[in-house]
Amino acid sequence: MNKTITGFSKLSKSKKIDWIADTYFTDSESAKNLIKQYWNSDKKLQQLHDEFIENTITNYYLPLGVAPNFLINDSVYTIPMAIEESSVVAAASKAAKFWSDRGGFRAEVLSTEKIGQVHFTYKGETETLQSFFKILKPQLIKAAQPITHSMEQRGGGIIDITLNDKTDSLEHYYQLHATFETLDAMGANFINSCLEQFAKTLKQEAAKTLEHDLIVIMSILSNYVPNCLVRAEVSCKVEELTDNSTISGEAFAEKFVQAVQIAEVEPYRAVTHNKGIMNGIDAVILATGNDFRAVEAGVHAYASRLGTYSSLTHAKIEQGVFKFWMEIPLALGTVGGLTKLHPLVKLALEMLGNPSAKELMKIVAVAGLAQNFAALRSLTTTGIQEGHMKMHLMNILNQFEATSEEKASLVEHFKTHTVTHSAVVSAIEKLRQ
């Protein structure tokens, strides 16, 4: 069967679904029914979702949960989290409660600078280009004023533009490196619009002034934002660090610090360590309508900034006090994008008190730190599988279409038995006999 199609984007939604179902599925009617089952019954709301992206056929649901009891800078938050992975919300909630009894989390925004670049080649002398740029720079800023005017009125705009000579890395390669303040906006469209105007002005002025050709390759923001940083931390006396009777605060603190140190020096461990941090961060970013792919890319680049991939979190014991902290780049927004379109994003932001971008940076960073604390706490005491598999139990039961009565019985059973997939299967079979 021919699986290529011309003009797919021009088909109606129903025709798109018909083609997909008839082309790719043995039981096309079942496929169509499943696709339509996830449509929203509110036609206006469904149309809104359909118009977020192109070629939409249905909605793909993720659970939206909440983690309460987060004490951040003396204010209490219930944090919304959109994620499919078992135990993430539970772990965040447990860490939040643990630290709320020990003074809570502290968080501060260290800087909010965002970056964009115009990449171009020039075959003339570097000194000539540098002299040209000194004259060009105020013209670049002036030409972009229609774009920056509104942002400047709110206190943001272009921070600086520099000329970077990258010819040591790539022949004839230079860049305009621009820094921006976008306040509560994510800023992608603002930054890219400014960059494209810079490129236009650069080409126009170069054609008038320079003897050699200047060729603009592309203009685009960077998702690596090492100067858009937020710090989150917790601390308490070592003897207060554990509520587990099987291990002392001193022993737990020492083991915890060693676990973090391993992630600082061992990339294989660091990747999984940081993935756990991102479980918390991505879940809040998704719930608040931000771009988790951009954040992921920037965060992992930051984790490699010293030449080796390493832990984002750090811990130490100093004069009887345990300290656990993280500095992380987070370019977030609370206006623009989906923040005023997606009803659940608006709900999530209102739940958080309609935070500014800086406030949201703090909340998101704390969620990541809490997630990492919870994971390391499990790893260095009971092991990660005990808690994770108990949370995963319901997924296994749903795979076997367990009834409410079977679920209640088996949940009770596994309160005192180790959860494994084979153990659950065996218990279900025994129960059904």
Residues with catalytic roles: 85, 275, 291, 388
Cβ neighbors of 421 (< 8 A, separation 6 or more) are 396
Contact 56, 49 (CB under 8 A): yes
Beta carbons of 303 and 312 less than 8 angstroms apart: yes
Report the run of H or E that residue 394 belongs to, with start and end.
helix 384-399
Closest CA to 109 of 323, 332, 393: 332
Measured between alpha carbons, how far is 61 from 65 in angstroms, rounded to an integer?
13
Q: How many CB atoms lie within 10 A of CB 85?
A: 15
Sign for the pseudo-dihedral over CA of 330, 331, 334, 337: negative
User: In angstroms, rounded to a whole number, what is the distance separating the alpha carbons of residues 215 and 121?
Assistant: 5
What is each CA distance from 63 to 66, 127, 272, 359, in whole angstroms? 10, 57, 23, 24
Dist CA 18 CA 32 (whole Å): 7
In sequence order, what DSSP letters do the residues of 282-320 get, joined into one string? HHHHHHTT--HHHHHHHHHHHHTTTSS---SEEEEEETT
- Token digits of residue 226: 């090492």
